[in-house]
Amino acid sequence: MRLSEDQARELAARAVALTPADEAEALVMANDVALTRFANNRIHQNVAEEDTTVSVRAVLGTRTGVASTNRLDDNALKACCEAAVAAARVAPQDADFPGLPAPAPIERIERVCESTRGFDAEARARAAAAIIEQSSVRGLSAAGAVSRADYAVAIVNSRGIDAAMAVTSLKATVLSSGTDGGSGWASWLACDASRFAPEALGDEAATLAQRSEMPGSLEPGNYAVVLAPEAVSDVLDFLGYLSFGAQAVDERSSFTADHQGERLLSELITLTDNALSAETIGLTFDFEGCPKRRTPLVEAGVVRGPVTDSYWAAKLGVPNTGHALPAPNPYGPLPMNLELAAGITRVDEMIASVERGLYITRFHYVNVEDPVRVTLTGMTRDGTFLIENGRLTKPVKNVRFTQSAVDALADVRAVGDRRVLVGPEEGGANLAPALLLGSWQVTGQTR
Amino acid sequence: MRDLVMTALDAAASAGSTYADARAVLTTEERISVRTGRVEGIEHSESLGIGIRVIADGAWGFASTSALTPDAIRAAARQAVAIARASALTAAAPVRLAPLGVFDDTWHGPCRIDPFAVPLEEKLALLLAADEGLRSHEAVTVSSASLDFVRVEKVFGSSEGSMIEQSYVESSAGLVAYGMADGEVLPRSYPNSHGGQASQGGWEAILALDLLGHAPRVAEEAAALVSALPCPTTTTTVVLDGSQVALQVHESVGHPTELDRVLGDEAAYAGTSFVQLGDLGSLRYGSPHVSVVADATVPGSIGSFGYDDEGVPAQRADIVREGVLAGFQSSRESASAIGRASNGCARADGWNRIPLVRMTTLSLEPGTWSFDDLIADTDDGIYMETNNSWSIDDRRLNFQFACEIGWEIKGGKLGRMIKSPNYTGITPRFWGSCDAVCSAERWHVWGLPNCGKGEPMQVAHVAHGAAPARFRDIQVGVGR
């Protein structure tokens, strides 16, 4: 059983009081998480963890230091606070440091579901069994995980911030594989476990696996592509990380630097970071205890942003959007709850409009070749199909792409009418629809 | 911590486990980072807890906690057994572990100068000076420098009677200068990218890197990259530096020969492997120049230990011998599936994670070439240094890597600089094209403290010995 919100808040306040500095901030993260993993149609790993970590930021003038511990006795906590002060003492002054942030109203959204908190080892095992059955009865092999997260976060600082929130989520993934090279994928993520239908999830992956058997070859080249939401979410992750944080914009490593207010992407693209959406999960304040603001990043193709935290807001002279990561962090503030505005096109309508192209279920092992143009390389996985004359005609072996996301999102032909919540359950997730893109560069294929 | 482990083992047995092991781990870390003249962070952290792994009803359960009272540990042990019984709902056959002896031992990694005892001021001064050196050229407008020290103290005990105490210190450092041009960000790193070089050892390992001495050269190369040639799109001979060969070994030999991947246990997340169980002793993995060993006894490597996290002694095992698949990296459970003993590759990322099959120090054995002779022997090609991007498919066949910097090779000489060269290939075909590996003179152990695997995610600290090597008929300039 993890600490409650109030217990986490009390612990954070205790750490602030124990820190002999000009200003102090304490971040408490209390986790009770469990994950049931299966492969080859059986549960093979099944784990649980309880932990509480206190992270203290001490401020002496404009010098800061950070220390953290998960030892919560008085001596260990005091030593942690003193270590933060010792670090601050040797740090040079930072003329841009504005001091710790002051409190601001935080929107309260209930994101704890008892159904999820109670989703115990037996419930997870039964869910895994239901997923597995959908593959095993068809002669397929299922692998995946059912994971439950239940955590409380509290942030207290000496300027009066006193924020706490508890969050639950349930996530399930399934890969269904056949013996003839076919595989299918499905995933589910939500706050409320009572809405989870494991049989349907298992069926979705197994059906896709059957459909993708005996995949064929594909020549490299540029193809129109329909990206399913999970693939779109991967692209959004990189776009958010590389392009819409204040540090990247300030360092001129973002394609948006010096171009805010210009239309650089398709008019069909409207991208927002919105931790306050009723459809998403995660915290409504950032890791400084500041409210997460709904932040437009792209409006009808016109680039906006970036997201900020207290440091970067002061440095750039713009509002604090509430996107701080735990201090210290080398990335600056980042968007964690991206949502791409839905369009009006169904996926079958997208496919019907393509003369020759690809349908891609998801990507694998994507990495960055050029951070400015967000040029990514990676593989497709678990359901890649050739589209010919408006129909999915045959599965193809996984292909490698090397493609600028900026260029691809400048040529959007349609946006899906239905969005899916995709992502890690901790810290946030993306709301992504399917996309039809005019061109996607395939540069290779696996055997 | 021995008492904590004994409490856990007793409680697991009382709850009905047929096998149990427990690991109490204290990890202490200090990280200092500087970016473009600003101290980005000075952070001290510690994490202490216990993980209890059991077999009950023939299935696995694991529970971990940072609450270390006897009652909390007993509750975690009971939870582990309850989880195992839930796992048994889908178990087809009971878990079997390869046989193992009983060990009561201690092991300590090398450390001459305790980095935690070196004054913070001294460490910070080094970083700030190195960072300043990185910005000695006006084209470098962004720079970063970091130091990271980790101390791990752990006690492993098992219901079979083993009790093992181990401790080690890791020290790492890295510099990056970014050449910034219109629409381009061109990093140049030292001693390696992605956090630098990591070793088992103390402050002496940092001093040996001579960060200050290298910073101006790194800055010059970053600045020169701005006006360097783009990588041509062609098929040519490629010579890779040792650090890039190390990553190539990691991705295209290390992961595919992890036995749990071969058996399908990682299918949904990291993927499986093109290597099949029946390939042992027959699969032509590469040319006769390619011999790869897994060795957890290499001194000073972050892939070394006395015992793995199942209590199996550190050892050296052939993985590829003169181009032919010779072995897998294994744990007790995966080794049992093929009727062998574990070769000691089960490692866990802290007290709150189970051991998985992980690399130790997986190395390409040195060849006979001097680097100068290798370049002189190459009529036309590209020499590439320092990884910048990596990607490989879920069966570890199709890969694409980009490096920070390259140079033309023309008529046996290094020529003009090339920015961001990349190359792609298919694993066995690529290793089959290797026709030369440099000698021990250029062979170096590269620490990679960022290997991700598993759910929940685990980050392993592994290492690879490698020297520069040459590969023929490689596709470069992909997607350009």
* DSSP letters spanning B135-204: TSSTTEEEEEEEEEEEEEEEEEEETTS-EEEEEEEEEEEEEEEEEEETTEEEEEEES-STT-EEEES-HH
Taking CA–CA distances from B77, the nearest residue in chain A reads A48
Helices A5-18 and A74-90, packing angle to 10 deg = 50
Q: Where are the alpha helices (DSSP H) in A330-421?
A: 347-352, 405-409
pLDDT given at position A98: 97
A155 and A256 inside one domain: no
Neighboring chain B residues of A88 at a CB cutoff of 8 Å: 42
Among B90, B266, B399, B427, which would you mutate to test the A interface (most chain A Cβ atoms within 10 Å of its Cβ)? B90
C-beta of residue A389 within 8 angstroms of C-beta of residue A191: no
CA distance readout (Å), B434 to A92, B237, B240, B408, B466: 50, 10, 11, 19, 13
Mean pLDDT of B28-55: 96
Show the CA angle centred on residue A269, arms to residues A173 and A370, nearest 5°: 75
Q: Distance between CA B60 and CA B333 in Å, rounded?
A: 11
Residue A343 backbone dihedrals phi, psi, to 5 degrees: -105, -145
Whether A366 and B33 lie within 8 Å, measured CB to CB: no
Distances in Å between the Cα of A112 and the Cα atoms of A40, A54, A151, A323, B450 are: 33, 22, 9, 22, 33
Same domain (yes/no): A232, A352: yes
Tell me how close the Cα of A47 comes to any Cα of chain B, in angstroms: 5
pLDDT at A249: 96
- Pair (A194, A219) in one structural domain: no
Same domain for A243 and A376, yes or no, is: yes
Cβ of A400 within 8 Å of Cβ of B120? The answer is: no
Does B75 contact chain A (CB < 8 Å)? no
Task: Give the mean pLDDT of A245-271.
Answer: 97
Cβ neighbours of residue B299 closer than 8 Å, sequence gap 6 or more: B110, B200
Per-residue pLDDT at B91 exceeds 80: no
> What pLDDT shows up at residue B181?
83
Residues 311-370 in B contacting A (C-alpha not used; CB under 8 Å): 352-354
pLDDT band at A426 (very low <50, low <70, confident <90, very high): low
Indicate if A192 and A228 belong to the same structural domain: no
CA atoms within 13 Å, Cβ hemisphere of A209:
27
Domain check: are A194 and A170 in the same one? Answer: yes
Quick check: B263 contacting A, CB < 8 Å?
yes
Q: Which of B47, B89, B353 has the CB atom closest to A126's CB atom? A: B89
How far CA B334 is from CA of A397, B58, B255, in Å, comes to 29, 15, 15
Q: Is the same domain home to A257 and A139?
A: no
What is the reported pLDDT for A91? 94
- Phi/psi of residue B93, nearest 5 degrees: -140, 150
Return d(Cα A262, Cα B18) in angstroms, integer. 66
Q: What residues pair up with A360 in beta bridges, in sequence order? A: A227, A384
**Average pLDDT in chain A:** 96
B480 has a pLDDT exceeding 90: no
Express each pLDDT in A322-371 by its tens digit.
999 999 988 999 999 999 999 999 999 999 999 999 999 999 999 999 99
Q: Which residues, other chains included, contact B10 with Cβ-Cβ below 8 Å and sequence gap of 6+?
A: none
Domain identity same for A111 and A222: no
Contact B268 A47 (CB under 8 A): no
Q: Give contacts of B67 with chain A, Cβ < 8 Å.
A: 50
* pLDDT reported for residue A192: 94
pLDDT category at A43 given cuts 50, 70, 90 is very high
How high is the pLDDT of residue A318?
Answer: 97
Do residue B82 and residue A96 have CB atoms under 8 angstroms apart? Answer: no
Structural domain ending residue among the three candidates A208, A237, A260:
A208
Instruction: Give how far the C-alpha of residue B136 lies from the chain's centroid of Cα atoms, to the nearest Å.
Output: 32
Q: Classify residue B368 by its DSSP letter.
A: S
Last residue of a domain, one of A208, A243, A277: A208
A80 and A147 belong to one structural domain? yes
pLDDT in tens, B110-157: 999 999 999 999 999 999 999 999 999 989 999 999 999 999 999 999
CA terminus-to-terminus distance, chain B:
56
pLDDT at residue number B76: 98
Is the bond preceding residue A328 a cis peptide, omega within 30 degrees? Answer: yes
d(CA B375, CA A33): 54
For chain B, give every domain's residue range.
2-227, 230-476
Q: What is the C-alpha to C-alpha distance for residues A295 and B218, in angstroms, rounded to an integer?
A: 38
Euclidean distance between CA atoms A413 and B84, whole angstroms: 50
Looking at residue B46, what DSSP letter applies?
A: E
* Stated length of chain A: 447
Which whole-number Å values give the CA distances from B227 to B108, B212, B218, B372, B405, in the listed order?
48, 25, 15, 26, 12
**Comparing C-alpha atoms, which of A434, A437, A447 is closest to residue A399?**
A447
Tokens of B81: 């057994």
Minimal CA–CA distance to B48: which of B148, B200, B154? B154
Q: Give the residue among A181, A67, A366, A197 at the shortest CA–CA distance from B272.
A: A181
Residues A102, A21 within the same domain: yes
Per the CB < 8 A criterion, the answer to whether A198 and A145 are in contact is: no
- Residue ranges of E strands in A178-280: 183-190, 221-227, 271-273
What is the pLDDT confidence band of residue B396, given thresholds at 50, 70 and 90? Answer: very high
Beta-carbon count within 10 A of B222 CB: 27
Size of interface A-B (CB pairs under 8 A): 258
* pLDDT at B265 exceeding the cut of 90: yes
Report residue A90 as tokens.
């040797």
Helix axes B120-134, B211-225, angle to 10 degrees: 30
Closest to A402 (Cβ–Cβ): which among B33, B80, B478? B478
Question: Which of the 8 DSSP states describes residue B442?
Answer: G
Helix (H, G, I), strand (E, B) or coil at A390: coil
Q: What is the Cα gyration radius of chain A?
A: 23
Rg (alpha carbons) of chain B, rounded to whole number: 23
> How many residues does the structure list for chain B?
480
- Separation of alpha carbons B137 and B179, rounded Å: 9
> Which DSSP symbol is given to A194?
G
Does residue B416 carry a pLDDT above 70?
Answer: yes
Model confidence at A11, pLDDT cuts 50, 70, 90, reads very high
Query: Which tokens go with A93?
Result: 């002054």
| A425, pLDDT greater than 60 | no
Strands (E), B220-269: 229-230, 234-240
Contact between B302 and B109 (Cβ < 8 Å): no
The position carrying tokens 């409006």 is: A299
Q: Are residue A295 and residue A438 in the same domain, yes or no?
A: yes
* pLDDT digits 0-9 by tens, A204-243: 999 999 999 999 999 999 999 999 999 999 999 999 999 9
pTM of the shown model: 0.97
Given A181, A208, A235, the domain boundary residue is A208
- Amino acid found at A381: R
- Asked if residue A423 has pLDDT above 90, the reply is no
Q: Which of B124, B264, B391 sits opposite A90 (nearest CB)?
A: B124
B61 neighbors B82 (Cβ within 8 angstroms): yes
What is the percentage of chain B residues whose pLDDT exceeds 70?
100
Q: Looking at the structure, do residues A26 and A69 belong to the same domain, yes or no?
A: yes
Query: Which among A48, A71, A445 is the nearest to B398, CB-wise?
Result: A445
Smallest CA-to-CA distance from B196 within B221, B176, B216 is with B176
Domain count, chain A: 2
Q: How many CA atoms lie within 13 A of B416 on its CB side?
A: 9
Here the tokens at position A40 are: 């080859």
Its domain, for residue A176, covers 5-208
Q: List the single residue in A51, A124, A366 with the smallest CB-CB distance to B352.
A: A51
The mean pLDDT value for A410-422 works out to: 97
Q: Give the single-character DSSP code of B251.
A: I
Chain A residues in contact with B185 by the CB 8 A cut-off are: 253, 370-372
Distance from CA of B440 to the nearest CA of A (A): 32
For the beta carbon of residue B233, count every other beta carbon within 10 angstroms. 12
Q: Please provide the CATH number assigned to the domain covering B2-227.
A: 3.30.2290.10
Neighbours of B377 (CB within 10 A): 14
